[in-house]
Amino acid sequence: MENRNTDHSANLRRRIQKLRIYTDDEDRCFIPQKALYNLLTREELRKVLTNCNGILSYHVDDLVEIVFRGARRILAILVLLKGEEKLISDFVRSDGFQLSALDHKLPFSKEKLSEIVSPDTIDDFYSVQWEFVAPIFSKGILHRVLDPRTRLPFLFHRDTGKEGGFGHIYKLEIHPENHRFTVTPGNSPRFVRKEFLPNTADPGSFETELHNLNLLNNLKHPNIVELLGSWTYRGKHNALFPCAKDGDLF
């Protein structure tokens, strides 16, 4: 039974590793949620949990449903930790009978992990979890602040060599599973990121421009570029726009 469990776990670990997408500008990777969910079907979950030493047979059915409904990312992290799948029971025991998905608690702080897993697992789990929490961008006027450890799901990311007011302009492509923007046929799937530089911008310039852009968004005019979203990452403010069609800012 132990060899069977080891073989199945190793096979699943390799398949999860193959889902990794490496970012364009850094030697870091992320795993798209949809691809992971397609892999971790109920049948696959039943196999890995049935063959997992440390999980009682009469707990398997309940665990399969809990994991399938909202803990597939946590289980995948444990699989990547080489044989720690049994710890999924500890995460379930810590949920306090809440109906919200366990995956929604990601990323966990080290302090929270210390309440769930043993000390020798904390650092590894904390490090690997960032592969599974890449942002999924969608339209909205509410500004976000991203953790510095966040893996940005950019497949293509290039400095255009141009500058706007108080910032640099980058052209990028977001992994299709990590945005909710409509890309019509014939249009570029790429976007434009404006990065504001706090050390050179006037105090409050970002907030002022963001406020103005949000107001302009309400006009819905074809000659006004649409603000898709904004965030702060590693001390720099960013705004996201669609890539202009058939022309440039000039």
State pLDDT tens for residues 46-70.
Answer: 999 998 988 999 999 999 999 999 9
Nearest to 194 by CA among 167, 215, 172: 167
Helix (H) or strand (E) holding 13: helix 2-17
Burial of 237 (0-12, 13-18, 19+ CB in 10 A): buried
Mean pLDDT, rounded, for 8-27:
89
Per-residue confidence (pLDDT) for residue 147, from 0 to 100: 96
The pLDDT-based confidence of 103 (bands split at 50, 70, 90) is very high
Region of 90 (left: φ > 0; alpha: ψ -120 to 50; beta: rest) is alpha
HSE at residue 150, side-chain half, CA atoms within 13 A, is 16
Residue in the structure block whose two tokens are 């949990």? 49
pLDDT at 196 over 90: no
Instruction: Write the CA distances from 243 to 28, 171, 173, 223, 225, integer angstroms.
Output: 25, 8, 10, 13, 9
pLDDT at 77 over 90: yes
CB 24 within 8 A of CB 156: yes
Q: CA Rg, the chain, in Å?
A: 21
Pairing of strands 190-196, 236-242: antiparallel
Identify the architecture of domain 144-242 in CATH: 2-Layer Sandwich (3.30)
How many helices, marked H, and strands, marked E, lie in the chain?
9, 8
CB 88 within 8 A of CB 71: yes
pLDDT at 112 over 80: yes
* Amino acid occupying residue 183: V
CB 225 within 8 A of CB 191: no
Mean confidence (pLDDT) of the chain: 87
* Amino acid occupying residue 245: K
Residues of the chain with CATH 3.30.200.20: 144-242
Instruction: Write the CA distances from 130 to 3, 121, 124, 143, 230, integer angstroms.
Output: 30, 15, 11, 21, 21
Q: Which residue has better confidence, 171 or 1?
A: 171
pLDDT at 7 over 90: no
* Distance, first Cα to last Cα, the chain: 68
pLDDT at 17 over 50: yes
Mean pLDDT, rounded, for 152-172:
82
